[in-house]
Amino acid sequence: MRILLVEDDKVLADGIARALRAERFAVDVAGNGEDGGHLGSTELYDAAVLDLGLPRKDGVTVLREWRAEGRNLPVLILTARDGWSEKVAGFKAGADDYLTKPFRMEEVVMRLRALVRRAAGHAGAVVACGRLAFDAQLGTFELDGLPLKLTALEWRVLSTLMLRREMVVERRELIERVYEGDAEVDSNSVEVIIGRLRKKIGAGMIETVRGRGYRVTAGIR
């Protein structure tokens, strides 16, 4: 899962980015509204954390422009503005959730997980597919009822596939949702990660759809 963080307070942005990366999210950070708006308009993200009081372009304007362009990524507004009028303006612009400063990093993580899960169409926390279960709210996997240990890249790939279980996810989309914008990506990186996952959960659970991508399935088709 890949998150866009638009926050001009560098210390705060660094802290949020560290907390999200510790939970295995990929994070791109923008320090002003112009850069953040551009990234949200041109890159693929699972969700965005957006401050309102940004230099160059305020957060409400950024959000309105995303929605006018048809960008439907979930947006969590994070701001020191706790007045009702500011919240109303944020929600009218298209925000999905609102969190005021100060806050706990754990709450940012939990709210983002909930936004991503709901955006993928899952009302419940647990997404199951055959022997595999993904608790999208806690960020944990189980295989046959036992905890599954994954690297950060494996977790991002498998969580993306599980949230779209039985659906084909294109290789290009997997790359965009797994790696941060400044990462150097080898041409066969996704294939390597898929190969490692197959060894851990069983080869038949991740199907290669030739010329398109991959999907998680309860069994070999």
pLDDT in tens, 126-158: 999 999 999 999 999 999 999 999 999 999 999
Phi, psi (rounded to 5 degrees) for 102? -75, 165
Confidence at residue 219, expressed as pLDDT on a 0 to 100 scale: 59
Query: Is the domain defined by 2-119 classed in CATH 3.40.50.720?
Result: no
Q: What is the pLDDT of residues 35-59, one digit of tens each?
A: 999 999 999 999 999 999 899 999 9
CATH number of 126-216: 1.10.10.10
The pLDDT-based confidence of 92 (bands split at 50, 70, 90) is very high
Query: Beta-carbon neighbour count of residue 57 at 10 Å?
Result: 17
Question: Domain limits of the chain?
Answer: 2-119, 126-216
- Is a pLDDT exceeding 50 seen at residue 221? no
On whether the CB atoms of residues 148 and 165 are closer than 8 A, the answer is no
DSSP for residue 204: G
Q: Is 83 exposed, middle or buried (0-12, 13-18, 19+ CB in 10 A)?
A: exposed
Q: What is the pLDDT of residues 12-31, one digit of tens each?
A: 999 999 999 999 999 999 99
The pLDDT-based confidence of 220 (bands split at 50, 70, 90) is very low
Query: pTM score > 0.75 for this model?
Result: yes
- Tally the C-alpha atoms within 13 A of residue 175's C-alpha that lie toward its C-beta: 16
